[in-house]
Amino acid sequence: MEENTMDDMLTESAQAVLAQCCTPQVVRSVEAARDRSAGRELWDQLDALGFLDALVPEEKGGSGLRLAATTGALFAFGSHALPLPAAHTMIARELLARAGIEAPRGPIALALANASRHGTAFVPYGLVAEAMIVETTDGASLVSLADAEVRGHGESLDATVTYPSRASRSLPATVRGVGELGALATAATMAGAMQRVFDMTLAYVNDRQQFGRSLGKFQAVQQQLSVLAEHVAATRVAAQLGCAGHRTSKQRVAAAIAKARASRAAPLVANGAHALVGAMGITAEFDLQLYTRRLHAQRFQYGSESYWDDVVGTHAIDHWSNVAAGVVGIFDALDEAATASA
């Protein structure tokens, strides 16, 4: 089946299950629980539908897809503020399956650190993960979070994890690219979240009446929304490009572009939405904050725009003889992927 067709089917399936099982109330309850076992019912449903094994090779019991076929599902994770690291686990399960290591069945986080066997790492979704793959310059390890010290960050699900060497297991050298894959998964979910933030803002300005007409009738408001729409669309397309690069020779640079673009857009979209939704948007009760808080946090995760800009710029200086041809060359990933899946 073509990746696009598969993508459409998975998107529909993800949207259906999340609309029912990942409501704002569920998101709030998982965030409030601050507990590793929170949200397991939702987790089991995603697992039962096969999302979490989507990237695992077919001979290892998965669907053998690339992220290009799951881009829409990742957008849906973001647009429902899924409070669990589903995209990260998809990647982790694939990496572990390829290394011939059985993956724990619960949520698996992805992290970067200075020392692989023991140390301290900042871990997105660390509060709700059972394990993590942590990557350093000298290799990757699988760490059981039950045996680690996990400290939460503010109201988020992210954590600082201190892990002893007895909690970590060295992974083969084939497990690599955790940083760029984590960045890519994050960029795609951010694109979904931005679309939701935009839709909520658009609905609000159409509804809210001031000076005798809806806010959306004011030209200044229209122009601000148009700019937000541009950044949301740009982030979406950059994430599509990034996912198309998955498991091709362009993976790192395509992921870098996706994350740099998403990170650059995040504060613009989040702050722009809050500017238009006014004081209502600042309340805990209004759902906007479920998305904007996470967008700000995700902006730094696995590298901010400065980090990935540096990766892209260095790549362009070291490997390209021409910028335009280099950029066109990244899109070869779409053909490479098409050839591989044919």
Partner 1 sequence: MTNPFTLRPIPPEDEALRAPVRAFLAEALKGMAPAVRARSWLGFDAGFSRQLAARGWVGLTLPREYGGGGRSPFARFVLVEELLAAGAPVSAHWIADRQSGPLIARYGTPEQKAFYLPRICKAEAFFCIGMSEPNAGSDLASVRTRAERTANGWRLSGRKIWTTNAPHSHYMIALVRTSGVPEDRHRGLSQVIVDLSLPGVLIAPIRDLTGDAHFSEVTFDDVELPAEALIGSEGAGWEQVSAELAFERSGPERIYSSIVLLEEWARTLRDAARTAQAPVGESERRTLGALVTELATLRAMSVAVTGQLADGASPATQAALVKDLGTSFEQSVPTLIGDALGAHPQQAVTRELADTLDYVTQIAPSYSLRGGTREILRGMIARGLGLR
Give residues in contact with partner 1 (CB under 8 A).
4, 202, 205-206, 216-217, 219, 221-223, 225-227, 229-230, 233-234, 236-238, 240-241, 244, 256-257, 260-261, 264, 305-306, 308-318, 320-328, 330-331, 334-335, 338
Residue with Cβ nearer partner 1 (38 or 190): 190
Assigned token pair, 305? 């725009």
Report the nearest approach of partner 1 to the CB of residue 227 (Å).
7
Determine contact, residues 103/97, Cβ cutoff 8 Å. yes
Question: What is the rounded CA–CA span in Å between residue 55 and residue 15?
Answer: 19
Query: Which residues lie closer than 8 Å to 94 by C-beta, 6 or more apart?
Result: 55, 56, 57, 62
In angstroms, give the least distance from the CB of 10 to partner 1.
15
Among the listed residues 128, 265, 103, 250, the one whose alpha carbon sits nearest the alpha carbon of residue 198: 265
In the complex with partner 1, which residue's Cβ is closer, 25 or 223?
223
Q: Closest Cα partner for 130 from 99, 92, 82?
A: 92
Query: Smallest gap, in angstroms, from Cβ of residue 173 to partner 1?
Result: 28
The encoded tokens of residue 50 equal 């096969």
Q: Measured between alpha carbons, how far is 71 from 241 in angstroms, rounded to an integer?
A: 10
> CB of residue 309 vs partner 1: minimum separation in angstroms?
3
Nearest residue (CB) to partner 1, 57 versus 326? 326
CB burial class (10 A; 0-12, 13-18, 19+) of residue 57? middle
**With respect to partner 1, which residue has the nearer C-beta, 172 or 313?**
313
CA distance 286 to 157: 19
Cβ-contact 337, 3 below 8 angstroms = yes
Of 174 and 206, which CB lies nearer to partner 1 in the complex structure?
A: 206
Show the tokens assigned to 139. 């290799």
Q: Tell me how far, at minimum, the Cβ of 23 lies from partner 1, in Å.
A: 24
C-beta of 14: minimal distance to partner 1 in Å? 16
Task: Specify the residue, 25 or 321, whose C-beta has the smaller distance to partner 1.
Answer: 321
The Cα 295–Cα 3 span in angstroms is 28
Per-residue CA distances from 173 to 34, 80, 95, 137 (Å): 33, 35, 11, 11
Q: How far is the CB of 216 from partner 1 (least distance, A)?
A: 5
- Min separation Cβ 15 and partner 1, Å: 14
Angle value at C-alpha 301, between 228 and 282, nearest 5 degrees: 50
d(CA 211, CA 305): 40
> In whole angstroms, what separates CA 211 from the centre of its chain?
40
Toward partner 1, which CB reaches closer, 117 or 231?
231
Residue closer to partner 1 by CB (options 143, 244) is 244
